[in-house]
Amino acid sequence: MLSIDHIFQALESPKKIFITTHQKPDADAIGSSLGLYHYLKQKGHQPTVVVPNELPDFLHWMPGVDTVLNFESEPKTCMGVLKEAELIFCLDFNHLSRVKLLEAPLRNAVQPLILIDHHLQPEAEVFYAGTSDPEKSSTCEMIYDFILQVGDQELINDDIARCLYTGAMTDTGSFRFPATNANVHEMIAFFKKRGLQHSRIHEDVYDSWTENRMRFIGYAMHQKMEVSANGKLAIIALSEEEIRPFNLLAGDTEGLVNMPLGINTVKVSVLLTQKNGLIKLSFRSKGQIDVSSFSREYFNGGGHFNAAGGSSEESMEVTLKKLKSLITNIIP
């Protein structure tokens, strides 16, 4: 993979540009994709954001979200956009297995794939150029860096600032995780000087729950959280039948896995949620416990050192048995 500056020249003339991100996209995925979209539009390009599947409901206020195409529900339209594109940006993921049904079309694409991402262990050989930096707080921060690197700071408008702020805010746990360095705060300062109304974004993301979502979280914490390993491990496992009565919206389980880390003894938190027979696992840890390697080794996943995900095609019972027998090995 070449460095990102190898594409600067290509961006000097108008291009049709395909922007995509990981399945089950979160705020950093959508924020970085739409932040880049608004920037490229201002540069005179024709960008389109295509996501592998449904967007979280709590992001429906984001500027430009109505232009986003969903590959799962509109495959033909998305394939048309892909064929016409001259460049393909891949944001907030680094392995093509992360884009679900889009994996084969991207592997077969003749256009250059450009990576901007902050996860560990990129599948570097499939990308023509890009930037991969696990030290970065968020892909949104990397889009900001990219715009500055091109020398286009002046093009950062309110739409771009709102999108990038959102992903940086969620991926840093509201600016508290260790990756929240001076560069992140300088970016926010730049947005603020240009008039960003940040408190509205916090309200839109964090104070916009449905009653059902709140009751679901209450149920998960009260009835389903199991604490073991001398208080160091918390597991919440939710089957399809347990989730169904709450009529959840896309994105409604977001943040749940972080909550048990609020217990003073808990070092590792795992959330298992079942949908259409498949179990999705989310891992969070405190300190020097590498859940990314664990998830990669045993659950076909990956991510960051302290926040990772994976999946299992086994039953809940079998998955839990496997998880419980292995995870205590990484807890000191």
The contact set with Mn ion (CB under 5 A) reads 28, 92, 139, 171
The CB-of-268 to ligand 5GP minimum distance in angstroms stands at 13
Q: Which of 19, 308, 323, 327 binds ligand 5GP (CB under 6 A)?
A: 308
Contact between 304 and ligand 5GP (CB under 6 A)?
Answer: yes
Nearer to Mn ion by Cβ, of 92 and 159: the residue is 92
Cβ neighbours around 70 below 10 Å, total: 16
Cα angle 210-215-220, degrees, rounded to a multiple of 5? 125
CA nearest 69: which of 61, 80, 58? 80
How far does CA 161 lie from the centroid of its chain? 18
Task: Name the one range near ligand 5GP by CB under 6 A: 141-149, 156-164, 175-183, 299-307.
Answer: 299-307
The CB-of-139 to Mn ion minimum distance in angstroms stands at 5
The CB-of-98 to Mn ion minimum distance in angstroms stands at 11
CA nearest 120: which of 321, 307, 331, 312? 307
Contact between 260 and ligand 5GP (CB under 6 A)?
Answer: no
Residue 139, class by beta-carbon neighbours within 10 Å (0-12 exposed, 13-18 middle, 19+ buried)?
buried
Contact between 22 and ligand 5GP (CB under 6 A)?
Answer: yes
Q: Which of 209, 311, 322, 331 binds ligand 5GP (CB under 6 A)?
A: 311
Give the number of C-alpha atoms closer than 13 A to the C-alpha of residue 1, restricted to the C-beta side: 19
Nearer to ligand 5GP by Cβ, of 94 and 111: the residue is 94
> Distance between CA 260 and CA 284 in Å, rounded?
9
Residue numbers 79-98 binding ligand 5GP by CB under 6 A:
95, 98
The CB-of-32 to Mn ion minimum distance in angstroms stands at 7
Task: Name the one range near ligand 5GP by CB under 6 A: 75-83, 124-132, 155-163, 309-317.
Answer: 309-317
Q: In b/e form, how buried is each residue of 77-100, taking b as 16+ CB within 10 angstroms?
A: ebeebbeebebbbbbbbbbbebbe
The CB-of-6 to ligand 5GP minimum distance in angstroms stands at 25
CA nearest 299: which of 317, 281, 286? 281
The residue written with tokens 């959280």 in the block is 225
- State whether residue 249 is helix, strand or coil: coil
Task: Name the one range near ligand 5GP by CB under 6 A: 5-13, 197-205, 225-233, 308-316.
Answer: 308-316
Q: Which of 309, 316, 327, 330 binds ligand 5GP (CB under 6 A)?
A: 309
Contact between 274 and ligand 5GP (CB under 6 A)?
Answer: no
> Distance between CA 154 and CA 160 in Å, rounded?
11
Query: What string marks each residue from 132 to 171 as x (binds ligand 5GP by CB under 6 A) or -?
Result: ----------------------------------------
Residue numbers 235-254 binding ligand 5GP by CB under 6 A:
none
Size of the site for ligand 5GP (CB under 6 A): 15
What lies within 8 Å, CB to CB, of 273 at 6+ separation is 238, 243, 253, 279, 280, 282
> Distance between CA 140 and CA 163 in Å, rounded?
8
> Distance between CA 283 and CA 266 in Å, rounded?
12
Q: Which of 31, 47, 56, 303 binds ligand 5GP (CB under 6 A)?
A: 303
Q: Which of 52, 122, 167, 302 binds ligand 5GP (CB under 6 A)?
A: 302
Report the interface residues with ligand 5GP, using CB under 6 A.
Answer: 22, 95, 98, 119, 257, 282, 301-304, 307-311
